[in-house]
Amino acid sequence: MSFVWKSLYFCASGRSLYGERRRCLCGILAQQGGCMMELPEKIMLSQGGGGAASAALIEAEIVSRFAQNGILAGLPDAAALPEGMIFSTDSFVVTPRFFPGGNIGKLAVCGTVNDIIVSGGIPEYLSLAMILEEGFSRKELGEILDSVKEMADSEGVQIVTGDTKVVPAGAVDGVILNTAGIGFARKGIRLGREYLQSGDKIIVSGGIGEHGMAILAARHGISGAESDCASLRKFADEAFRIAGQGVKLMRDPTRGGTGAVLTELLKGSSCGAFLEEEAIPVSEKVRTLCKMTGIDPLFVPCEGRMVAIVSPEFADEIVKSWKALPGGELAAVIGTLDSNAEEIVLGGAWGGKRKLILPDGDPLPRIC
């Protein structure tokens, strides 16, 4: 049985944890992580959190219908299209809309821009679509759009098209944003699971879990936590400058956090991984909040962090350069790929080991 602090959920359920029971969900069966997971007849909040329930839903409903084109099959953050074009889209429903370190407008730009950046691209164009609730404050909308403009201008990307809909009061919660982005691949760069080798290093650009914990703190009136919401362009620039094709894979650990991203990156590869638990950077504030709530920081979302897998000879130099960047002070090497391992294993300070297991759902819905 799963145990959670129920008040963490934006929408409380009158039943058990959104139908979760013994790591299963009642309904249709879907394959996930080598075992069968049951899918419910109706969509549940936990299926949007980037964990095992989310992956099972996508596998059953999206991959089964659309992955035959070959582009979607690997479920990339951004699609690599002909002529070096990279395309991505994301929707944003975060609550609260304003939080320490940003708001839904800044997040809408960073989220899509970062998906293009970690896919080896340089973002250039964005669309902006809005679904507004009748009665929503024009002042608040203006503040959100000012943040969109400020972030887009700082990244050198242009808002070139969009759409606006207004729905009756109660049909949505204030505002929903969607951004889609187009960028172009960096020359001489190649990213993919096929390039992974035993001995490659896993590096992270800063302390993990800061966005998710900032949202949690804002919801419960706790001060001191701040989102890491930011562009990853400078971190990518440094990694590619130092290592070039020695950078094998990149990802921004948003929904599902670092643990979910690593599970996804290594799925279908010939390697497992060993993570040094003590090396994983977690700020004292995030660590304290995670202990209070019983949430593993490995599964808490970030919005301004990069996880990369690189050739071992470049790892320390990249991390050193990242530490010199704002937000990169806690950058670290956190693990190593191992062709003899079939799973991701965490090693503790006292020699203990445990498998990295994706949670079924998400204790922090609506964080982006």
Please say if the pLDDT value at position 121 is more than 70: yes
Out of 3.60.15.10, 1.10.760.10, 3.40.462.20, 3.30.1330.10, which CATH number does the structure's domain 79-185 have?
A: 3.30.1330.10
CA atoms within 13 A on the CB side of 240: 21
3-state helix, strand, coil in the chain (%, to 5): 35, 25, 40
Domain boundaries, the chain: 6-69, 79-185, 193-355
Rounded CA gap, 15 and 11, in Å? 12
The answer, yes or no, to whether residue 36 has pLDDT greater than 80, is: no
8-state DSSP, 246: G
Q: What is the pTM of this model?
A: 0.86
Other residues' Cβ atoms within 10 Å of the Cβ of residue 245: 12
Confidence of residue 359 (pLDDT cuts 50, 70, 90): confident
Pairing outcome for strands 307-310 and 201-204: antiparallel
* Rg, C-alpha atoms of the chain: 20
The CATH number of the structural domain formed by 193-355 is 3.90.650.10
| Sign, CA torsion 102/107/108/113 | positive
| Beta-bridge partner residues of 125 | 158, 182
* Structure-block tokens of residue 10: 């934006």
Query: Which pLDDT score is estimated for 49?
Result: 67
Mean pLDDT of 200-225: 96
pLDDT tens-digit readout, 251-288? 999 988 999 999 988 987 889 999 999 999 999 999 99
Mean predicted confidence (pLDDT) in 334-356: 87
Q: Cα 306 to the chain's mean position, in Å?
A: 9
